[in-house]
Amino acid sequence: MNKLLILLCFLSFISCFPDAKYKECSLQKTNETLKFRLDSVTKNEIYSYSIYNDNDGKEFFVFQNQGKNTLLFYELKKQNLAFKIDYPIEGDNGVGFGDGYYVHNLDSIYIPNGDVKVISLINKTCKLIDKYVYDKDRDNKSLSLFNFGAANYKPATVIGRTMYIYSGPNRYIEHDPVSITLNMDTKEIKALPFDYPEYPGSETKLKKYGLENTFSRCFDGKRFVYSFYYDENIYVATPSHDSIQMIPVKSNYFNKVKLPDELTASPIDFCENAWYGNLLYDKYRDLYYRVAYPSTKIEKGIRPIELFLYGRKNFSIIILDKDFKKIGETMFPDYTYNSNIMFIHEDGLYISDSHYLNPEFSDDELSFRLFKLIKK
């Protein structure tokens, strides 16, 4: 009886620390891969992508073909193209030039126009169902153009019938909200009370915005968490954004961010300067991953614009527990992985190894390598 009581007490004690197994971790490469074959008109340089689960439990990797009004749905299990949706630019069902997307379900697909402040609602057959205009919020405040850029990790989030999107930065107005809400029934737009954080150089009015637009946002079911690339802090917000907590999350591989000059920055600055990157929430392990880019030098002959599009030369991933305590950081090898393309799965973290300087790179496929979280 005493032994049973001791055992029950011990189990009760460790249950108070559900994240104890994640005290110190790293990401370890496995032999498992995903490979999606691409046709001659589909690029593996993608900016908007997501995981979609249908009503039958099938999982799809979805992405917009860069520069095209096309969504491709690849079934994860079979790694084949299941179907694609080509939505028109003009005509009765025209949506303009689509800049990102959000798939609520196959009867409700939201496409923001890249040229005007309009979101089109279509279905799988590309029938135009409705349009939402977001030039001003309900208080008549002007809002800025945006997209659903999942490569920048700014996906739309839906809670109930409220869609959380964002408004682009604008230094010409007193308050430029980072995020806004769209009532999916009434079409009411509401700006949330969280402005773009300032940084050295952001006070200049010679341009509408600079680095402010380089950020990502994830939602963990209760909180929105923001990672601005120019800031070592992350910002944790309630859904109403009336409470914002600023938490330092610093890389081991550099002391501070080095910002490109607002007016004279060159493409190489964005490939060599130290700063932060995207933030992902791992719902299966209740953890967060923040990308960080240490200062580096790129070799002569490498085109910086192309390198930047494929995720720079190298990067690290900072691992945070559910309370945003740092529990590890893993550095990745040079010219191997595209840090702009990664997604969370029950199996672990999939990172694209379709980096154009990877010796195994192929234009004919988009490939991923699985990484698993391990205790040190």
What's the rounded Cα separation, in Å, for the pair 337 and 270? 17
Give percent of the chain with pLDDT exceeding 90: 71
Neighbouring C-beta atoms of residue 124, cutoff 10 Å: 15
Between CA 344 and CA 287 the distance in angstroms is 11
Write the pLDDT tens digit of every residue in 78-112: 999 999 999 999 999 999 999 899 999 999 999 99
Residue 296 to residues 232, 258, 299, 313: CA-CA distances in angstroms? 18, 11, 10, 8
What is the domain partition of the chain in residue ranges? Answer: 22-375
**Is 339 in contact with 315 (CB distance < 8 Å)?**
yes
pLDDT the model gives residue 167: 83
pLDDT for residue 333:
98
CA dist., res. 332 & res. 27, Å (int)? 10
* Residue 170's pLDDT band (cuts 50, 70, 90): confident
The more confident residue out of 3 and 344 is: 344
Cβ-based neighbours of 266, under 8 Å, separated by 6 or more: 260, 304
Residue 2 pLDDT greater than 60, yes or no: no
State mean pLDDT over 208-212. Answer: 74
118 close to 96: Cβ distance less than 8 angstroms = yes
Q: Quick one: pLDDT at residue 174?
A: 79
Confidence of residue 67 (pLDDT cuts 50, 70, 90): confident
Instruction: Identify the band that residue 149 occupies on the pLDDT scale cut at 50, 70 and 90.
Output: low
The CATH number of domain 22-375 is 2.120.10.30 = yes
pLDDT over threshold 80, residue 222: yes
Phi first, then psi, for residue 25 (nearest 5°) are -135, 165
Please indicate whether residue 212 or residue 348 has the higher confidence score (pLDDT): 348
Q: Specify whether the CB–CB gap between 267 and 260 falls below 8 A.
A: no
Given a cut of 60, is residue 192 above it in pLDDT? yes
Q: 298-327, pLDDT tens digit by residue?
A: 999 999 999 999 999 999 999 999 999 999
The pLDDT value recorded for residue 9 is 42
Q: What is the largest CA-CA distance in the chain?
A: 78
Maximum mean pLDDT: which of 44-58, 190-204, 279-293: 279-293
Q: Which bin fits 240, alpha (ψ -120 to 50), beta or left (φ > 0)?
A: alpha
Mean pLDDT of 134-141: 83
pLDDT tens-digit series, residues 3-48: 444 444 433 333 333 445 567 999 999 999 999 999 999 988 888 9
Res 336 pLDDT > 90: yes
The pLDDT value given to residue 254:
96
Average pLDDT over residues 163-190: 88
Place of tokens 């600079």: 210
Mean pLDDT across the chain, nearest whole number? 89
Percentage, residues of the chain above pLDDT 70? 91
Is the pTM higher than 0.85? yes
pLDDT at residue 141, rounded to an integer = 77
pLDDT digits (tens, 9 = 90+) for 247-295: 999 999 999 999 888 778 889 999 999 999 999 999 999 999 999 999 9
Q: Which residue has the higher pLDDT, 229 or 141?
A: 229
User: What pLDDT is attached to residue 10?
Assistant: 39
Q: What is the DSSP letter of 35?
A: E
